[in-house]
Amino acid sequence: MHVGRLLLSLLLCVAPLAAQDRPASTIWTAVNLYNASSTTRATGAYRLESGARVSGDVAVLIGPVEIAGEIAGTLVAINANVQLAPTAVIRGDLLILGGTLTRAEGAAVGGEIRAQSEVVRYEIDDGRLVPDEGRWSDWGPKRMRERSERLSRATTSYTDLVHFSAGSYNRVEGLPITVGPRLRRTTNWGRVDLDAFGVVRTAGPVEWDRGTLGHDAHLAVRLGREAGLTLGLRAFDLIAPVEVWQVSDQENGLGTFVAHRDLRDYYGRHGMAGSIGGRIGEEVSLDLLVGSERWGRVEARDPITLNRAREPWRPNPFMHTGIVDLTTLRLRIDTRERMKAPWLGGWYVQGEIESGRGDLIGPPPPWPTIAEQDGARLSPLIAPQPIPTRYQRAFIDARRRTRLSPETELSVRLVAGGWIGGDPLPMQRRLSIGGPGAVEGYDFRRVPTGEADVFTCGGVTDEWFGGPAMCERMALAQVELRQPIGFDWKFAGDDWRIGVNDRPSWVLFADAGRGWNRSVEVPFLSPATNAATYAGSWLPPISSFRTTLGAGIDFGSFGLYAAKAVSSGDEPMNLLLRAGRRF
């Protein structure tokens, strides 16, 4: 209670102090122009020929955008590259989100040029563009919230009696479909949002039980129209992934459906949670969640896949089971719009600190065989007992994209997390590394012969069912250099055109990372697992990190890459197909 009161007081005191001298958010300025009724909108490739003129603003999704004529207003390019010919004239501003600018000598822009490298994730709701990051909390800078208020007042309130959406395809649920009513009411003191969804899982066998059915109900009350707190209450019965930081939901779902390869492990969550959210300044937001939930084990089922349909799925590992009380503090820092502080600007950071306590039953330990009679191997049968567990865990994912020149971009990503106090982490909070999204020169959940397992810390040995993540800590650094390829990938005739919409870029990258366990004795760890322990309180020696170098071509919606492990000379080169950017 004391922590909650302190946080509430801090948010109430600091939130009104937001700076007023920064320019309006590029994202919301672009979205506002796109949604304006007077804007000329286009999706896909857009070209304005020399001598042609458009009166008013132009907004293009996906692109690419080629301008040789005149635009009397502002040009907005969302997830699109822009190329300005020598004869191009833009009387207003030029806003580019998730793309690059190629500007020939002589091209004229009358207003401000503002660009943001980060790809914008959005939905089209009744013809309007709605960014994903603004759907529940509206935690952007103050002007982002003001723009969101204008949109809310324009749409007033709504009620969807039947609303459908789908989650990420996986080997436990198949395609999880949510269906139910959705309601929003705008008042003179704030806003109320209510979702009451049922969850239907399509993986076979489909039966009328909790393996197929679940629920997710969410109530959010925002106090204040221009500024204030968001209070939330959620009741859920869901299947959740153990780790989500390596690859996106979309990429993991595509890999599961197309390639029969699910890169995540899962567990059941059933409970309730309350939340309070607020802002500190223009660029920092905090969310405090307190709840209680029952953790359970779930098994891989039989979802539809386009490839290797008759092969069995990788077993979903055993997880801890029982009731656990969770207190989580989540932090987000977004300085991508900070123009005058080049070293502090450009960062996007997400982090959390979690404290858990409960009585949990652990997975079956890898007990050694103690007897052999008549050729049969006998293992002891011991009924598991709940063990009081108290732990603290932290996690941070920081990303930065810096333009070295108008077309050359340097991206950096730092990821670290794990145990910071209390008892050993439960399986739901363990970590792993290696494979797509991490150290890509090594295969997913595989350790080179004769090397210590610094990827799963022993989970891939034959002693552990399903090859689980077993590391209590991990650290990863990724660096990427990219530049558009100066080549026309389109072939066109008088009335047809084929090619890649996004301008391809060559990419050079390096990854370095490892996982480890603490030096204290952890129950049930085998010698192979203990080989990945580290006695220090900070990072293990840099020489113990696994490193890869790679190169590839990013076509925008997908990329082809080759990665080679340089810390293990015998490892073969990995060829990867990634959906979207690597990070």
Opening angle at CA 244, ends 239 and 246, nearest 5: 150
Domain-ending residue, one of 116, 144, 171: 116
Q: How far apart are CA 386 and CA 401, in angstroms?
A: 46
How many Å apart are CA 79 and CA 63, to the nearest integer? 7
Amino acid at 298: V
Distance CA 181, CA 64 (A): 38
Split into its structural domains, the chain has a count of 2
Where is the domain boundary, 81, 116, 151?
A: 116
As given in the structure block, the two tokens for residue 108 are 């004229």
CA distances from 438 to 227, 250, 252 (A): 38, 17, 14
Rounded to 5 degrees, what are φ and ψ at 14? -95, -30
β-pair type (158-166, 176-186): antiparallel
Domain assignment of residue 33, yes or no:
yes
- Decide if 47 is inside a domain: yes
Sign of CA dihedral 500, 410, 19, 185: positive
Q: Is residue 268 part of a domain?
A: no
Gap between the Cα atoms of 189 and 226, Å rounded: 10
Domain end position, chosen among 116, 145, 173: 116
Structural domain containing residue 52: 15-116
Contact 233, 195 (CB under 8 A): no
> Contact, 273 vs 240, CB < 8 A?
no
Which residue type, as a one-letter code, is found at position 330? R
- Does 322 map to a domain? no
The strand ranges marked E within 366-443 are 371-373, 376-378, 387-403, 409-422
The reply to whether 184 falls in a domain is no
CA-CA distances (angstroms) from residue 571 to 239, 258, 447? Answer: 35, 26, 10
DSSP β-bridge partners for residue 411: 401, 480
What gap in Å lies between CA 545 and CA 145, rounded to an integer?
Answer: 43
For residue 200, is it within any domain? no
The answer to whether residue 483 is domain-embedded is yes
Amino acid at 313: W
**Position 566 in a domain:** yes
Q: What is the pTM of this model?
A: 0.74
Tell me the chain's radius of gyration from C-alpha atoms: 26
Q: Render each residue's pLDDT in the chain as its tens digit; 583 residues.
A: 443 433 333 333 333 333 333 334 678 788 889 988 889 999 888 999 999 999 999 999 888 999 999 999 999 999 888 999 999 999 999 999 888 888 988 899 988 888 776 677 777 777 788 876 433 333 334 444 444 444 444 345 667 777 777 889 999 999 999 999 989 888 888 889 999 999 999 998 888 777 899 999 999 998 876 557 889 999 999 999 999 999 999 899 999 999 999 999 999 999 999 999 987 777 888 999 999 999 999 999 989 999 888 899 999 999 999 999 999 999 999 887 665 566 676 788 999 999 999 999 988 765 443 333 343 444 444 567 889 999 999 999 999 988 787 678 899 999 999 999 999 999 999 999 988 999 999 999 888 877 888 999 988 877 778 889 999 999 999 999 998 886 655 555 555 555 555 568 899 999 999 999 986 554 444 444 455 788 777 889 998 999 999 999 998 778 999 999 998 878 899 999 998 888 8
Q: If phi over 0 gives left and psi between -120 and 50 gives alpha, with beta otherwise, what is residue 117?
A: alpha
